[in-house]
Amino acid sequence: MKKLGDLVYLYDTTLRDGTQGEGVSLTVEDKLKITAKLDELGVHYIEGGWPGSNPKDLEYFQRVKELSLKQAKISAFGSTRRPEIVVEDDMNIKAFLEADTPVVTIFGKSWDFHVTKALNTTLEENINMIRESVQFLKAQEREVVYDAEHFFDGYKANPGYALATLKAASKAGADWIVLCDTNGGALPNEIEKVLERLQEEIDTPLGIHVHNDGELAVANSLAAVEAGARQVQGTINGFGERCGNANICSLLPNLQLKMGMRCLSSESLKRLTEVSRYVSEIANMTPLNSQPFVGSSAFTHKGGIHVSAIIKDPATYEHMDPGIVGNSRRVLVSELAGSSNIRYKAQELGLDLMKDVESTRRLSSEIKEMEYRGYQFEGADASLELLLRRGLGQYEEFFILESLKIFIEKQPANGGGIESINSEAMIKLRVGDQVMHTAAEGDGPVNALDNALKKALEQFYPYIQEMHLVDYKVRVLDGKDGTSAKVRVLIESADASETWSTVGVSENIIEASWQALTDSMNYFLLRRSKCNS
């Protein structure tokens, strides 16, 4: 095999294989945005889709030419010619030409079981299909990546035939031969042994494309590179059919930082977390917090002993500097927290606790007691900041509740219409030496409460209307108590520049909502007052 040194080429198939994942759907505009972002990251190949399968991908290939890409080569994906069809007359092959990409990725069968059952043709005809398709596309002056579908299963079943399919593609002029673990069932040692054997049989550079059905896609890809593969295919965040594809967000730092292979520049690697979250946002998929390297929990510490150690040296509980991949360290405060967690969090907020040991201990005990009662501060940083500031006497309330009433009126349907439930909140607040008494309606009691609060406060803080509620979650903490059970309310709020979360706990859902809602508004007012000071 031709030696390519320690350079590993990244081949991203998020736009094609990634969209086969459940819940993943991208418009043409989405695909173009992700293409530009992947190019900025430094990905070598971007597989845009299958031009012969749908109008969306055809439009993508037409419009992607308008992008001024710095590095990435765009590839179109499709199959070899069909059985008993002249190659230049095959619709899939014609679609490659219409897409007009510099790279084409063509897949063929390497498992004899698939040839006879799925394609319903002979083993000899399958070899012809591979050879003629690659030859034709090379004659069109395209870079050809040959994906050997189900290669590892095929090699187990009939190694001689599986190898013959690769040799057909190699002799026909393929630029890359990519070995696919399509069903995702191979083990790293199996991958490595097969790659080592192929080094002696195939001159064409080898690549790897694996699925994650055994939770080994990244491990299998790394094993393939260790054995000589120099193209790695995967998707951002591991999106893909069934259990997904090899996750580039884990592959890349492991290749570059752990194995010493060259993929991207150090500056590009710092954008990895940003790209991961960008793709999740575009795909409307919730990011996995526990995702290695780029997840929000990847460098998060909760246990007091851990936090005490990382304050002295982060290497005590971190395998690398999170900044290398553009992530950041986080410390949570919970019932597992010690004084170290409190000090670390206070330091983040610019509060000096180093000389106030007693306050630190008192706050730590208070937080543990509150968590015992059902509060959860690891998901409510804004409430935690207010708690710390109040405990240190470094906070002045923006408003004080004097009274609150909520009315709920259910009106029966008239003339076969829909019955309605109206909510109204009456609120009396004190701001300084002034009292504001107002009322507002809403779609429900919490919405009415939100509207009434803002209506009262906007007389003193006009910018309060800039914030809005993004998410509202209620969790019953002890179901055996039935309707009298204690509940925890988590509220997520946002303005134009930031999102923050607050928490409230009570046997009364309105009271729990009030706690979380007023914390949210107080946090917003605190931020604005600091900006204006």
Residues 80-113: tens digit of each pLDDT: 999 999 999 999 999 999 999 999 999 999 999 9
Q: Is the distance from CB of 261 to CB of 255 less than 8 angstroms?
A: yes
Cα 471 to Cα 494: distance, rounded to the nearest angstrom: 10
Cα 291 to Cα 249: distance, rounded to the nearest angstrom: 9
Residue 177 sits at φ, ψ, to 5 deg, of: -120, 115
Cα 26 to Cα 29: distance, rounded to the nearest angstrom: 8
Query: Per residue in 109-144, pLDDT tens?
Result: 999 999 999 999 999 999 999 999 999 999 999 999
Residues in contact with 276: Cβ distance below 8 Å, sequence separation at least 6, in sequence order: 236, 237, 249, 287, 291, 294
Global pTM value: 0.73
If you average pLDDT over residues 289-299, what whole number do you get?
91
**What pLDDT does residue 334 have?**
54
Banded pLDDT at 235 (limits 50, 70, 90): very high
Q: For the chain, give the mean pLDDT.
A: 89
Q: What angle do CA 300, 304, 308 make, to 5 degrees?
A: 85
Query: Per residue in 381-395, pLDDT tens?
Result: 888 888 888 877 778
Give ranges for CATH 3.30.160.270 in the chain.
400-532
Query: Per residue in 322-332, pLDDT tens?
Result: 999 999 887 76
Class of domain 400-532: alpha beta
Banded pLDDT at 413 (limits 50, 70, 90): low
**What pLDDT does residue 520 have?**
94
pLDDT for 202 beyond 90: yes
In three-state secondary structure terms, 150 is: coil
Write out the E strands in 280-348. 300-301, 330-331
Give ranges for CATH 3.20.20.70 in the chain.
9-264
User: Which tokens hold the place of 496?
Assistant: 């134009």
Domain 9-264: give its CATH code: 3.20.20.70
CA dihedral angle for residue 201, residue 204, residue 209, residue 214, rounded to 10 degrees: 20
Question: Would you mind telling me the total number of residues written for the chain in this entry?
Answer: 533
**What pLDDT does residue 365 have?**
78
Question: Between 464 and 348, whose confidence is greater?
Answer: 464
Query: Per residue in 349-369, pLDDT tens?
Result: 677 655 566 767 777 777 777
> Mapped to the 3 state alphabet, what secondary structure does 388-448 carry?
HHHHCCCCCCCCEEEEEEEEEEEECCCCCCCCEEEEEEEEEEEECCEEEEEEEEECCHHHH
Query: Per residue in 41-70, pLDDT tens?
Result: 999 999 999 997 788 999 999 999 999 999
Banded pLDDT at 485 (limits 50, 70, 90): confident
In three-state secondary structure terms, 273 is: helix
| Helix, strand, coil % over all residues of the chain, rounded to 5 | 45, 20, 35
In three-state secondary structure terms, 508 is: coil
pLDDT for 79 beyond 70: yes
Cα 516 to Cα 528: distance, rounded to the nearest angstrom: 19
